[in-house]
A and B are shown apart, each in its own frame.
Chain A
Amino acid sequence: MIPAPQDSPWADAAAVPQLRIRNVVKSFDSFAAVDDVSLDIFRGEFFSLLGASGCGKTTLLRMLAGFEFPDRGAVELDGIDLLKLQPYERPVNMMFQSYALFPHMSVAQNIGFGLRSEGLSRDHLEERVANALKLVQLSGFAQRKPNQLSGGQKQRVALARALVKRPKVLLLDEPLSALDKKLREATQFELINIQKQVGVTFIMVTHDQEEAMAMSTRIAVMDKGRVVQVGAPHEIYEYPHSRFVATFIGSINLFEGMAAHGPDGWRVDCAHWGGPLRVAQDLAALDHHQVALGVRPEKIRIAPPDEHLAADNFSDGVVREVAYLGESMLYRVALPSGFLVRVAAPNVGTRFSPGQTVRIGFDAGAGVALDK
């Protein structure tokens, strides 16, 4: 999903963020779980915190909910200092990874739990609960107990229970991790639709990069308690800032070498490739720096050795391994230097087998130079 410019408030310098996280630090026993994190999140965003387990994403989410308090830093929501508020006072609700449905209450009681502290009339409360059930398509399930529901149904009750309070921000802790693959894909789209319907800002924690890519307006990639890159999914994928982000999101070939300028423009002299790699990107800032040119496998084309390959960079190689993925073929091609290049080709036309000599190539604009 590539957002249109008017959907990108973060690109507008005048836009006021709804949630400001400023230099937040949280340590457990001298281990910095969250280390100097600052983020601006805008109203109506579907924002993902993405990272491996232990990267601090859940701790950050729990600080927004109020279950943990940062050692330092500030968190402001619509100009209100969230850190002065207890979890039960915050206009923020959370959907738990385990769903945390109250086992001794019916679905309707679970959803109504948060409304009962708001002093609503009985009729009004029942109407809100009924609407929430309708939103998640569980209208007939009001009187069931949680253990009489399937995993997907529990997930929706948890969503309804958190949304019925009409929070300013909804926090989702690995909302899809307990579902099987098929259901997870269907639920991804459902979550996006519901988010659009209610217009609430969603902040999701996930370790699943595909999930984050498919659902988010923006992603913050976290590593060792720090945010290493923030951007829209296509920015993170196409223009990673570092080797870490490049390899964490999807698969990538890293051609290490020295950046230099020549008659044909910028290039990276890569020993593995056996020569210069032409680069369209302006590398003036990285001149004579050791860099890695990152090239995604699907940006590399593969052809029989005798065929003319219209590419800025090309080389011959030998197919070592082939993985048949259905929609695509994944090849590992050995260059003359022995370096293995991953190439993904759509499953049309010629297929190559191990041992076959091939020609691979990619354009100067296909790669991104990484110095970190």
Chain B
Amino acid sequence: MSVSETRKRALGRFLVIAIPFIWLGALFLAPFLIVAKISLSTAAVAIPPYEPLISWAEDGALVLTLHVGNYKLIFSDPVYLIAYASSLRNAAVTVVFTLLLGYPLAYFIATRRENWRAPLLLLVMLPFWTSFLIRIYAWIGILKPNGVINGVLIWLGLIDKPLMILNTNFAVAVGMVYGYLPFMVLPLYAHLEKMDWSLLEAARDLGAKPARVFREVTLPLSAPGIVAGSLLVFIPAVGEYIVPALLGGPDTLTIGATLWNEFFSNRDWPVASTVAVALIALLVAPLLALQHHRAKGVKTMSDKP
């Protein structure tokens, strides 16, 4: 291979790797830095509606003003703390229930014959063909006082007047679990599908009843899938805005709604940015810890015999 050819290949390789990095840099890192910058400012009646960080003082000095008051505010005002707590709780509930529903579903699909698996997976992904917003909107029709559920319950004579389901935390949980279920099923399926089934046979052969086989072999071996699915559900669920906004009630306070309020109702971009940055910090810390733990675990247990 000639020198110029080697160079061409090196350039090609560089481009292939560089493009996604440029994409991430321009569309994720740069906006994040801008948001981080705004979070250190204060609100102002201006366009854009915050004070610049760098300004000229009267004596010609260049002044960099960093306000940390926004961070103090969100850690002292219970409104924000409650919003964080309830968002985390919502996300946790979503993870638990998507896992309880998704695990058997993924297991069922993974244990079907090969020619059945693709169509079943397609059914799991089918909802994605309709907009998330529209699907959550449809839940209003199901949950509202004169909606499908209440209609059926009244028709069956189980209740006389409609139950208040819509605009409760219960409705939010239903919507979240519904919306995020595929994100749990897909990684779980991917892990269960490549599991070595002879391990389960070996466990049964060694005298383990089905419950013990599941507890001591299936579950530990599918742990990476559980972790992947849980993260894939948990992270977007914490910042979820649409479901609480459409299905939640007056007492549903989430970080997504708080962000919306600060940006659009209060036009307080700095506080909104602070809320966003704090949320990212809140999510990144456990993620890094998990990544560290997994990197250690990969060495000792991930490969098959």
The answer to whether A100 and B204 touch (CB under 8 A), given A145-B300, A147-B305, is no
State the A residues within 8 Å of B (CB): 65-67, 86-89, 92-94, 96, 98-104, 113-114, 117-118, 145-147, 154, 161-162, 165
The answer to whether A100 and B301 touch (CB under 8 A), given A88-B204, A113-B206, A118-B207, is no
Task: Report how many residues on chain B are interfacial, defined by Cβ distance under 8 Å.
Answer: 23
Task: Determine the distance from Cα of A162 to Cα of B203 in the docked complex, in whole angstroms.
Answer: 11
The answer to whether A100 and B212 touch (CB under 8 A), given A145-B300, A145-B301, A147-B303, is no
- Residue numbers in B under 8 Å from A98 (CB-CB): 196, 198, 305
State the B residues within 8 Å of A (CB): 196, 198-199, 201-209, 212, 216-217, 220-221, 300-305
Instruction: Out of B201, B207, B302, B303, name the residue touching A100 (CB < 8 Å).
Output: B201
- Overall SS of chain B's interface: helix
The answer to whether A103 and B221 touch (CB under 8 A), given A96-B198, A145-B301, is yes
**B208 contacts A103, CB within 8 Å?**
no
Query: Mind listing 29 A-B residue pairs with CB under 8 Å?
Result: A66-B204, A67-B201, A67-B204, A87-B201, A87-B204, A88-B205, A88-B208, A89-B207, A94-B201, A94-B202, A98-B196, A98-B305, A100-B198, A100-B199, A102-B199, A102-B217, A103-B301, A103-B303, A104-B221, A113-B203, A113-B206, A113-B216, A114-B206, A117-B206, A118-B207, A145-B300, A162-B206, A165-B206, A165-B207
- Name which of B202, B203, B220, B301 has the most chain A CB atoms within 10 A of its CB: B202
The answer to whether A93 and B305 touch (CB under 8 A), given A100-B196, A103-B221, is no
Q: Which residue of A lies closest to B210 (CB)?
A: A88
Task: Determine the distance from Cα of A118 to Cα of B217 in the docked complex, in whole angstroms.
Answer: 18
B297 to chain A, nearest CB (A): 9
Q: Which residue of B lies closest to A171 (CB)?
A: B205
Task: Determine the distance from Cα of A145 to Cα of B220 in the docked complex, in whole angstroms.
Answer: 15
A337 to chain B, nearest CB (A): 52
**B304 contacts A103, CB within 8 Å?**
yes
Q: A100-B198, A102-B203, A117-B207 are in contact. List 6 more A-B contacts (CB 8 A).
A: A66-B205, A87-B204, A88-B209, A103-B302, A114-B208, A161-B206
- Residue numbers in A under 8 Å from B204 (CB-CB): 66-67, 86-88
- Residue numbers in A under 8 Å from B202 (CB-CB): 94, 96, 100-102
